[in-house]
Structure 1
């Protein structure tokens, strides 16, 4: 069983990233609180299936990855695993500017002190898009159930499934897909998304390019069926683009209770509160939503 050590940026911290939102419990991810380990079944480009166990390393910015595979892995496959883990954990995100702002805004000093700010993502934008779509207009319990059923369309190793490829999803017609996933109206949108990827009518991986204007990326997201302001804003965060506040009922309730003495605020008032964060305002909103969970998980919690 290969064991890999990966080093992130100096300010990377494992737990605040893994627990940054609910992705850690959506298949093929799973999180074990007792061992504080993130698990994932991953399908490599050549079709090889591996099971990854990812945990904090010796240094605070390191992670250890134990890899289960039926066969010996090549150097190329190991490099692919390293790249997938680094992408999931946001090693390419540079938060220096955001942390500098957070230190200057009262009430946000905890963010750089705990190393919060990176968001757990999937190795592909396809997976993040599909999961985000299945969070719209539903409960979290139903989201987990829909994603679990969708994941069973992927290749399996010892009963554990990798996330299906767009080709595997598009191979079904929309009715067959929805009979399996039971996603309601979202099923047709999910099928359209997979087909668009297979036919190369959209290229979500290109949206990670920092040279692209965020407004253009947001426009492309909102052109997808099922991606209104909430879903598009959520995807923007996963892409490392925080220009949009991405407000929903959860964000508005958080702001009411945390910053407005229990009184509902208008979206304009909420936007004014986060204005000091500039292009990072969407990240500041989300970290406020996750504040209690992230502080509770931090071994250096000073609050």
Structure 2
């Protein structure tokens, strides 16, 4: 198998480890992270190609891939790692609010690992609802197995159907949610056939209008689209807030000094305080 190797020059402070270990996505298939190299199988055109990312220096990423389409791979890597994010506006707020977070951003942190598409991130989020992290990892791994090593596209999810999702992926009530949400997204033309979000149609209000998608799932998915206005509240976040003396009912107001960066301020504070949780 031919391996193509190329580099990507970084335009902003960026740290691969900080980005990958920002939340639990790195533990979900088809990702593999060994502490230095990030790898997964990715769909490029009609082909399944492996891609590996390493950071040999502060201003450059090294990409290895089985694909000959380096442009397509570069686009995927940029999405995974949010390489197009300009943190300058948030940094200005941090300089006034929390210098520790400012230093973290300037050291290359502040981004969150994402999947190939909006659809992948949404369905993985559904797999975190009312369950354990161990079960989440198992459900996602089973979905990737059904996709022959790739995260399934919307059309594949439709072909699998809710019964197969429930039986083979042990998704419980989430099987029906995934099936119904996929149908609605395609019917509304909110996503493209590959699962990419369509224009500006997808927002928080649209997501919570989907049957089975509540405030937590909507806020978490929007966070991965770089809308940080709403703090996703699940059991783990609630437990942390209580430890800090914050009633989860008032979480949004407790972090209102961060404005439209409410989630980002909350999450990065946990990271710099070494109180972050990314699964186990």
**Which of 87, 98, 108 is the equivalent residue of 2:79?**
87
Match of 1:158 in 2: none
Rounded Cα–Cα distance in structure 2 between residues aligned with 1:89 and 1:131: 17
Match of 2:154 in 1: 166
1:105 aligns with 2:97: yes
**Which of 9, 27, 35 is the equivalent residue of 1:7?**
9
Match of 1:29 in 2: 31
Q: Secondary structure at the match of 2:160?
A: coil
Match of 1:282 in 2: 263
Rounded Cα–Cα distance in structure 2 between residues aligned with 1:294 and 1:41: 31
**Which of 227, 230, 233 is the equivalent residue of 1:247?**
233
Match of 2:219 in 1: 233
Maintained 8 Å contact 2:189/2:198: no
**What root-mean-square deviation, in Å, do the aligned CA atoms of Structure 1 and Structure 2 show?**
2.3
Match of 1:116 in 2: 109
Per-residue CA deviation, residues 10-53 of structure 1 (Å, 9 max, x unaligned), is 222211111111111111111112xx1111100112x1111111
Match of 2:65 in 1: 67
Per-residue CA deviation, residues 198-255 of structure 1 (Å, 9 max, x unaligned), is 445433744664xx7xxx7111110122211111110011000011122333223323
Q: Secondary structure at the match of 1:152?
A: helix
TM (norm. structure 2) is 0.87
Match of 1:299 in 2: none
Q: Secondary structure at the match of 1:57?
A: strand
Give the C-alpha shift of residue 152 in structure 1: 0.8
- Gap change, CA 1:200 and 1:92, over 3 Å in 2: same
Rounded Cα–Cα distance in structure 2 between residues aligned with 1:293 and 1:67: 33
1:184 aligns with 2:172: yes
Maintained 8 Å contact 2:104/2:110: yes
Any gaps of 5 or more consecutive residues in structure 1? 156-160, 296-303
Rounded Cα–Cα distance in structure 2 between residues aligned with 1:278 and 1:207: 26
Maintained 8 Å contact 2:101/2:268: no
Rounded Cα–Cα distance in structure 2 between residues aligned with 1:15 and 1:249: 26
Any gaps of 5 or more consecutive residues in structure 2? none
Match of 2:131 in 1: 138
Per-residue CA deviation, residues 259-303 of structure 1 (Å, 9 max, x unaligned), is x4xx343533x43442222111111122234445599xxxxxxxx
